[in-house]
């Protein structure tokens, strides 16, 4: 405890960070198995699937991309949907700015590793800049490695089947999104939970109502715009009142 209070990183801190980072990576890699299988079942090749995990590397955006492609929405709609869902990572980058290196050569790596898990771990171990940096990179690298391993096994396994669709993998896409959404609906205060539930229900209602009229993928875009509008509105309401 003395090490933490003085802002110094102890050997116990390092072991704790590395152990937690490894556990998060393994758990995320197991989830990547489903992504790899779903991607192949949606019509992407093993190489295309692995490329998404290597260079896009943001779970929700990847699931959205293959979901829209699998539904026949087209590449442009799939890309825009993935970009909207991945935009939150830019906000993570703002909060990680004081912790991470500003060197230009380090930006590509830090940008790639700026995800939910690495940001959460960096904030968890914020007793010192050194501990926070280690938590960020240890978690980001762990998740990256295991996510790509899981993707490879999932895609290769699904490609070995004559018809991956018989496994009902299409149902795993909405199930995966529900798994991502649930902690955000229950993890905050009562007022925050009410906002999140209202936003989730409204967005779902918008998407469902538009399905009969728009091509696949577009209803998801409109529901995402509802979330963006709500975020802007809530941000304005939460700004402090300036006093003279």
149, 118: one domain: yes
Residue 216 CA to residue 210 CA, distance in Å, equals 10
How much is the pLDDT for 70?
Answer: 78
How much is the pLDDT for 239?
Answer: 44
114, 201: one domain: no
| Per-chain mean pLDDT for the chain | 78
How much is the pLDDT for 173?
Answer: 57
| Higher local confidence (pLDDT), 193 or 75 | 75
Residue 140 has pLDDT above 90, yes or no: yes
Mind spelling out the 3-state secondary structure of the chain?
Answer: CHHHHCCCCCHHHHHHHHHHHHHHHHHHHHHHHHHHHHHHHCCCCHHHHHHHHHHHCCHHHHHHHHHHHHCCCCHHHHHHHHHHHHCHHHHHHHHHCCCCCCCHHHHHHHHHHCCHHHHHHHHHCCCCHHHHHHHHHHHHHHHHHHHHHHHHHHHHHHHCCCCHHHHCHHHHHHHHHHHHHHHHHHCCCHHHHHHHHHHHHHHHHHHHHHCCCCCCCHHHHHHHHHHHHHHHHHHHHHCCCCCC
pLDDT tier, 71 (very low <50, low <70, confident <90, very high otherwise):
confident
Q: Domain range holding 195?
A: 187-244
Domain endpoint, select from 164, 196, 220: 164
85, 203: one domain: no
178 within some domain: no
208 within some domain: yes
Residue 50 has pLDDT above 90, yes or no: yes
Cα Rg, the chain, nearest whole Å: 20
- Among 70-84, 132-146, 156-170, 201-215, the minimum mean pLDDT is found in 156-170
12, 127: one domain: yes
Q: Which residues contact 49 (CB under 8 A, 6 or more apart)?
A: 35, 36, 39, 40, 66, 151, 155
Instruction: Give the number of domains in the chain.
Output: 2
218, 104: one domain: no
137 within some domain: yes
Can you tell me the mean pLDDT for 47-74? Answer: 86
172 within some domain: no
44 within some domain: yes
136, 199: one domain: no
102 within some domain: yes
90, 191: one domain: no
Tens of pLDDT, residue by residue over 149-180, are 999 999 998 888 766 555 555 555 565 556 55
Tens of pLDDT, residue by residue over 78-135, are 888 788 777 777 777 777 877 787 677 778 888 889 888 898 898 888 888 888 999 9
144, 207: one domain: no
How much is the pLDDT for 123?
Answer: 85
pLDDT tier, 139 (very low <50, low <70, confident <90, very high otherwise):
very high
36, 138: one domain: yes
Residue 235 has pLDDT above 60, yes or no: no
37, 132: one domain: yes
Show the CA angle centred on residue 196, arms to residues 26 and 136, nearest 5°. 35
Q: Which residue has the tokens 């959404």?
A: 181
Residue 207 has pLDDT above 70, yes or no: yes
Q: Yes or no: say if 32 and 54 are a contact pair by the CB < 8 Å rule.
A: no
140 within some domain: yes
Count Cβ atoms within 10 A of the Cβ of residue 18 and give its class: 0-12 exposed, 13-18 middle, 19 or more buried: middle
93, 191: one domain: no
Domain endpoint, select from 164, 195, 223: 164
174 within some domain: no
75, 40: one domain: yes
How much is the pLDDT for 51?
Answer: 95
């Amino acid at each position: 405890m003395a090490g933490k209070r003085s802002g110094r990183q102890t050997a116990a801190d390092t072991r704790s960070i590395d152990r937690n980072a490894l556990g998060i990576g393994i758990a995320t890699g197991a989830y990547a198995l489903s992504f790899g299988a779903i991607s192949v079942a949606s019509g992407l090749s093993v190489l295309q699937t692995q490329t998404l995990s290597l260079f896009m590397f943001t779970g929700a955006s990847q699931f959205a991309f293959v979901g829209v492609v699998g539904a026949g929405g087209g590449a442009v709609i799939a890309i825009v949907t993935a970009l909207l869902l991945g935009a939150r990572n830019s906000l993570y980058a703002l909060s990680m700015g004081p912790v991470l290196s500003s060197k230009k050569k380090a930006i590509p790596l830090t940008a790639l590793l700026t995800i939910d898990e690495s940001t959460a771990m960096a904030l968890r171990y914020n007793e010192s800049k050194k501990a926070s940096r280690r938590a960020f990179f240890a978690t980001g690298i762990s998740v990256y490695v295991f996510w790509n391993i899981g993707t490879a096994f999932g895609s290769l396994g699904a490609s070995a089947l004559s018809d991956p669709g018989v496994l009902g993998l299409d149902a795993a896409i909405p199930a995966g999104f529900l798994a991502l959404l649930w902690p955000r609906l229950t993890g905050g205060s009562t007022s925050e939970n009410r906002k999140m539930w209202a936003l989730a229900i409204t967005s779902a209602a918008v998407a469902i109502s538009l399905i009969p009229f728009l091509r696949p993928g577009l209803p998801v875009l409109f529901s995402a715009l509802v979330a963006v509008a709500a975020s802007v509105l809530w941000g304005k309401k939460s700004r402090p009142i300036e006093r003279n």
